[in-house]
Amino acid sequence: MAKRKRLTPARGDAGSVERAPQSHASPLRAPIAHVAGEAATHAALEEVADAFQSARDAGRLLLELPLEAIEGDHLIRDRVALDDDEMRSLVQSLQERGQQTPIEVLELAPGRYGLISGWRRLQALRQLQADTILAIIRKPDTAADAYLAMVEENEIRVGLSYFERARIAAKAAELGLYPTTAKAVQALFSTASRSKRSKINSFVTLHHVLGDMLRFPTAIAERLGLALAARLDKDAGFVVRLKDRLRKADPATAEEEIALLSETLADRPQKTTPRKPAAEEVTAGVFLKTSAGRSGLTLSLSGKAVTPEFQKRLQAWLQQQ
């Protein structure tokens, strides 16, 4: 059996054209265009980074921070107590809709932040055992600016009681942020009316005199607080009686404490009978007592030395005068 010949490609000859192998490599870019493209990309990235940092510094950037990185007690809080019903509503809202409003913080150190405003939201998210919290980073120039931001946020969102307003002004003054409590009230509540600032200053008296003796100070209504402050400022005896009653009663509820304050305020000041002036010993055994009457000054002499003989000598002396 004859072997079949293996067919091989014909070699090129004069009548054929040999094709060059095809290359899929992209054409080389011009060096100048390549460098210009990289420079433009780098510039664009720098511009984005600068815009990002600028937005962060200006407080326009919303960040998601670890909840454990927030120090809630960085500032003395203006809110004294949390309303249970309000907190339940806030917790339910965060469960159903998530956090809609960010808190405000300042950067204390890399990865650590101090709370400025949003204390209720922070507490609610902690109750829910959340991992993160939405926040905006602020850069207050001074501690006073940080306190002002906290007060303004609460005034707008919820509103503080008069006692809470007075307390945070007093605390700010104690920290040396303002020279006096009155200056603190003026600065922290600059947008309030003069009448409102006057009422806050009255509640400052309440805070200074009673301090931590009040267990439910936020329950004190405006009218009662102003009346108490006026009485505390003028009646030292009332201060003693009120403190004594608060100490002994130890009210367990806001209603009990308000009733005690109201009852003590309603007490009429005790009338004291003016003491008769004591007689003064003008010479051995002779005491002189002076009293004022409608007809003029009355002089009374008494003592062992006031004898009939003494009386005669006194009358003779008076006749010579």
In the chain the domains, ranked by start, together with CATH numbers, are: 52-141 (3.90.1530.10), 160-268 (1.10.10)
What pLDDT was estimated at residue 264?
A: 92
H or E element at residue 228 = helix 222-234
Task: Provide the pLDDT for residue 234.
Answer: 87
DSSP H helices in 252-307: 254-266
Could you tell me which residues come within 8 angstroms of residue 83 by beta carbon, excluding any fewer than 6 positions away? none
* pLDDT score, position 263: 93
Q: How many residues does the chain have?
A: 321
The Cα 93–Cα 89 span in angstroms is 6
Q: What is the pLDDT of residue 285?
A: 73
pLDDT computed for residue 42 by the predictor = 61
* Full pLDDT tens readout for the chain, 321 residues: 445 444 444 444 444 444 545 555 555 555 665 555 666 666 656 665 565 566 556 555 788 999 999 998 888 776 666 667 778 888 988 888 888 888 889 888 889 999 988 888 898 999 999 999 999 888 887 888 888 877 777 665 566 789 988 998 888 888 888 889 999 999 988 888 999 999 999 999 999 999 888 989 989 999 999 999 999 888 888 999 999 999 999 889 999 999 999 999 988 765 555 555 566 777 777 777 777 766 677 878 887 788 888 888 888 888 887
CA atoms of 245 and 207, how far apart (whole Å): 17
Contact status, residue 227 vs residue 233, Cβ threshold 8 Å = no
Asked whether 121 and 103 are in contact (CB, 8 A), the reply is yes
Distance from C-alpha of 288 to C-alpha of 301, rounded to nearest angstrom? 5
Structure tokens, 43? 């510039």
Q: Please choose, from the candidates 127, 207, 115, the residue with its C-alpha nearest in 3D space to the C-alpha of residue 160.
A: 207
